[in-house]
Every structure is written in structure tokens, then in C-alpha cells.
Amino acid sequence: MKAAALGAFAALAACGGPPSGGGNVTVAVDGRIECRSGNAPFARACSVEQSESGAGRVLILRKPDGGFRRLLVIRDGRGVIAADGAEPARVTVIGAGRIEVVIGADAFRLPATVARR
């Protein structure tokens, strides 16, 4: 059972500065987030970029192998969804101010504002 919903996702900033539209900015000083692919251990090896699209804020999670995943920040309680591709994003609250997003064999740990319902 999920004890919390992701009501207000804290926008992630690219290394260059805060996102447009406000929001809490929480990224590592070096702009890296924890990620893993397959059964590998988590490491601060992925980077985050952000852009705006007609659908809203898009986060681009870049993997060390050159691959990437795109997430769309939404405000309906889910936090983020896969912006494209056939595989859905599964979002889990993993601690205070953190979520884990799994898409296929890839997992990313992101800062977030978790709203209790």
C-alpha cells in the first residue's frame, strides 16, 4: 500500500540554475543523481537536464552509457510519467524527499516533495 502520493514534484534543475516556474530545487552540487541499470549497484553516475514542452516540464535523465530516459512532470498526484517510449515509469517514495523511478531495467533516485494525502 502506498502511504503517500507525489502531489508536488520538486522540479530538478540542470547544472545551470533553477527551473522556470518556481519550485524547490534540490540537486547535488555536481548535478549528478543516483542511478543503476540492471542488477548493478546504485551510483551517482547519471545527470539531469530539463526543458519545457507543450505538455509541461520534461526531465532528461542521461545514463553513463550514453542512453537517456525522458520524464514528464505532472501534477495529478503521480509526480512523473514516462514522456515517451513503450515502458511506463513506476514511481515509489523511498524516503523523506526522495523517489525512485524505474523504467525497464533502469532506476533513478530523484529529489522530490512528497505530499501526504
pLDDT digits (tens, 9 = 90+) for 77-117: 778 999 988 899 999 999 888 899 999 999 999 988 766 55
What pLDDT sits at residue 25? Answer: 31
What pLDDT sits at residue 68? Answer: 95
| Total of domains in the chain | 1
For the stretch 40-87, pLDDT in tens is: 999 999 999 988 988 889 999 999 999 999 999 987 777 899 998 889
Which structural domain, as residue segments, surrounds residue 64? 5-115
- For residue 21, pLDDT over 80 is answered with no
Which residues are CB-contacts of 27 (< 8 A; sequence separation ≥ 6)? 12, 13, 15, 33, 48, 111
Which residues are CB-contacts of 86 (< 8 A; sequence separation ≥ 6)? none
